[in-house]
A = this chain, B = another copy of it.
Amino acid sequence: MTLTRDAGAGPNEPESDAEISNPLEFHVGYQLRRASAAILSRLASLLSDLKLTISEASVLVLVDDHPGITQSALGRALGIHRANMAPLAAILTERGLIERSQPGSRSIGLKTTKLGREQAMRARQCMEANEDALLPALAPDQRAALIDLLKQIWQV
């Protein structure tokens, strides 16, 4: 790979094909997109052994923690729209991981099956493994500081 000295040619000369200065790197938005993509793609890869997507695993774990929870409450907690919760709940039900507490009622409480509880445990292990994989990049106190900063961005 050919390397020019610092950040490549200046902004007004034709580019040689080398590393390139990227002014977007100084934006929180850009860094969030790249970091989020990296960490989520690794988690997706870990969860693929369980045949679960990240959304499916998140729903499964939260239902397991809160037996009787409704789809709407799940959606509010996870930031997933009502309309997108329906097929998500349907898939987990089809696979025998969750079931409906009161089959007759309209507002449906969800809970995990025995198989679902086992899978939820394995999903939690994947999520913890994904967090642990951050340790080479982030010391524990940095990790805590990062969580605090991120919370401030999206929470009201």
Give the interface of A toward B (CB within 8 A). 8-9, 11-15, 17-18, 20-40, 43, 54, 58, 61-62, 65-70, 72-73, 76-79, 101, 107, 109, 127, 130-131, 134, 137-138, 142-143, 145-147, 149-154
Main secondary structure of the interface of A (DSSP, over half): helix
Chain copies in the assembly?
Answer: 2
28 interchain pairs, CB-CB under 8 A: A9-B66, A13-B67, A15-B69, A15-B109, A17-B70, A17-B107, A21-B65, A21-B66, A23-B61, A24-B58, A24-B61, A25-B151, A28-B143, A29-B43, A29-B130, A31-B147, A31-B150, A32-B36, A32-B150, A34-B154, A35-B151, A35-B153, A37-B79, A138-B152, A142-B149, A145-B145, A145-B149, A146-B150
CA distance A138 to B20 in the complex (A): 29
